[in-house]
Structure 1
């Protein structure tokens, strides 16, 4: 089955769909995505290194997982689905933290261009990552990630992770991250 992404206008309204396999290139259109940070039972963040053969940003370290909601799929459902697919984890306590996050980044001629609400959630147990998506997982304290993103001491962090951490750092520990206002989501993300 073809995985579709939701294409967006500059204000975040849905204007159509495209096959995920065809949307990422040098002129990637704006589309809907999400990022999620998982906090484990010990209060540490689960970070992942993207598989080296991925088309977009291969081999970079990033948040726990990212994904694209299917047309009409609620963001929270997409987060739970993607956590199972990518990391083999049941995701709980899904909470919106950066509803209006968006970015554009390029690596090796391939562009990511997304309105990408950010979530924090919990997961228990050991991850069983899908090797087509993830090469490595690491649990780290928030202070390690925050310092690494701010000081550049963690080489190879994804540009979206660096931007997200900068916005979240003012709130401190993930347990203190305020819940975002769902009304600030892109209009396309308020559907489903």
Structure 2
């Protein structure tokens, strides 16, 4: 779905300009996104398999929930909205813990550069996997994996081709943060 997104400068500050997400991708303009990592108290992490119809990284495993922040939308509200949309889970602002921001720029093709400032949140998953309701247009599958297995598969990208290539630094940050909370 094409939507208006706010454009950020190189330091991640709003420029006051907005454009369609498709234009931001075409021109490689930095814009905000949210990543919400859901984890269980016993040390498992929820991952989603991206839809085979996605323009970027189809069928690869990825963050529990991810999405664009609409123009003028509050970052935390976007995270709450995306969790509800993608996995059918209602969370509140107080359930979300902002971990950090992570700037990622990936040239997908000649006319598609993904330039995003990910606002990364952690959120404890308090319901069983079978109570989640995946958004069919965005998510092909959901899985809960033990944190140690997830770490093995993403640190150093041992399973290249299975996960979205966020890079070892990104994955190490997430894994260390979840490990310290379980």
TM-score, normalised by the number of residues in structure 1: 0.79
Q: Distance in 1 between matches of 2:82 and 2:180?
A: 21
On the 8 A contact 1:142/1:174 being kept in 2, the answer is no
Give the count of matched residue pairs.
174
Q: CA 1:122–1:172 in structure 2 vs 1: closer, same or farther (change >3 Å)? A: closer
CA apart distance, 1:161: 6.2
**Cα RMSD between the aligned structures?**
2.3
In the alignment, structure 1 segments of 5+ residues that lack a partner are: 177-192
Q: Give the Å deviation of 1:77.
A: 1.3
Equivalent in the alignment of 1:31: 31
**Aligned in 2, Cα 1:48/1:158: closer, same or farther, shift over 3 Å?**
same
Match of 2:179 among 165, 170, 173: 173
- Per the TM alignment, residue 165 of structure 1 is displaced from its structure 2 partner at its CA by 1.2
Q: Deviations over 1:100-145 (max 9, x none)?
A: 3111123355321111121101232422111110111110111111
SS of the residue aligned with 1:91?
Answer: coil
Query: Equivalences for 1:1-192 in 2 at 5 Å?
Result: 3-15=3-15, 16-25=17-26, 27-40=27-40, 42-92=42-92, 93-98=95-100, 100-109=101-110, 110-123=112-125, 124-125=127-128, 126-155=131-160, 156-160=162-166, 162-171=168-177, 173=179, 175=181
C-alpha separation in 2, matches of 1:21 and 1:133: 17
Shift of 1:23: 2.8
Q: Which runs of 5+ in 2 are unaligned?
A: none
**Equivalent-residue separation in structure 1 for 2:13 and 2:156 (angstroms):** 36
Q: CA deviation at 1:37?
A: 0.3
Normalization by structure 2: what TM-score?
Answer: 0.83
SS at match of 2:85: helix
- Distance in 1 separating the partners of 2:66 and 2:175: 20
